[in-house]
Amino acid sequence: MKHLLSVCDAQDQVVQLLDLAMWFKKGKSDDKPLKNKTLAMIFQKSSTRTRVSFEVGMGQLGGHALYLSTNDLQIGRGEPIPDTARALSRYVDGIMIRALKHEDVVELSENASVPVINGLTDLEHPCQALADMQTIKEHRGTFEGKLVFVGDGNNVCNSLLLISAILGLNMTVACPEGYEPNAEIFKKAQELAKESGSVLEIIYDIKKAVKNADIIYTDVWVSMGDEEEQEKRINDFMPFQVNEELMALSNEGAIFMHCLPAIRGQETTAGVIDGPQSVVWDQAENRLHAQKAVMYSLMKD
């Protein structure tokens, strides 16, 4: 694995990365494997969990994280991405970027001589997917079962399809028509599923979708960049709200997941996200450990 732009970049290392993340979480490592190394963190979008988890993670591994908004960089004034990649590569040991367009991250990686990590794009969110699988393994002890993603077939959904297909976890996407996951991603996930035995499907009937669910996962309806569609999206997604009635249709012991931030009263209710089935805070914490595993794997000597 040279970069982590997509879940597919870690296809052969997913299990190893998850084992390493859980090892880090148990506090097994007292050394500083990334001592004197620096991670440049480029943010084209605002962030809480991504920024803090990467910055804290680098510190715990003995390195240093450098926060760079587009206002801090010449890229914000029109410097070509290849020039930025080449310059940063002379200073730092790795680059994490939270970008508006996935193509920009690909272009950055093609011109950088250091590892590039996708901290979120419009197409994928691989670091979130790794943390999610770590959370599922911790709470369920297995990847057998059924994950139902409810709502917008967005970047998080795309990465979850890929990683579920790699690990053999069955996954159903429950969404309104017109909000399906990326077609190419879904096709790739189906190809991966042939090897693992995972069953992937898209269902427009929410009650049918959550039947026999072991994990119910949702995300905000209006992502950054979709604000102009806010009213339409809220109307379209309201029947797909994850509330107590919907959770009651899932299997006994089912868990609720959300990548955060959440808007209570929209994609979910306070009773669900703050209730006993919710594991969202473990999810949030596991971003730290999963990303430490990624940084260690990409940046260690």
Active-site choice (93, 127, 128, 289): 128
The residue from 219, 233, 241, 289 that is catalytic is 219
Which of 125, 233, 258, 289 does the annotation list as catalytic? 125
- The amino acid at residue 20 is L
CA distance 86 to 91: 9
The CA-to-CA distance between both ends of the chain, in Å, stands at: 14
Determine the residue type at 169. Answer: L
283 is catalytic: no
State the catalytic residue, choosing from 127, 157, 175, 259: 259
Structure tokens at 62: 């003995």
User: Do residues 175 and 152 lie in contact, with contact meaning Cβ atoms separated by under 8 Å?
Assistant: yes
51 is an active site residue: no
Q: Can 289 be counted among the known catalytic residues?
A: no
- Residue of 3, 8, 93, 98 with catalytic role: 98
C-alpha–C-alpha distance, residues 134 and 16, integer Å: 11
Q: Is 277 a catalytic residue?
A: no
The catalytic position among 49, 102, 233, 287 is 287
Quick check: is 140 catalytic?
Answer: no
Nearest 5 degrees, angle CA 91-CA 95-CA 96? 150
Pick from 135, 138, 128: which is nearest to 162 by CA? 128
CA-CA distance, 226 to 89, in Å (whole number)?
A: 33
| 258 in catalytic set | no
> How many CB atoms within 10 Å of residue 71?
8
Kindly list the catalytic residues: 98, 125, 128, 219, 259, 287
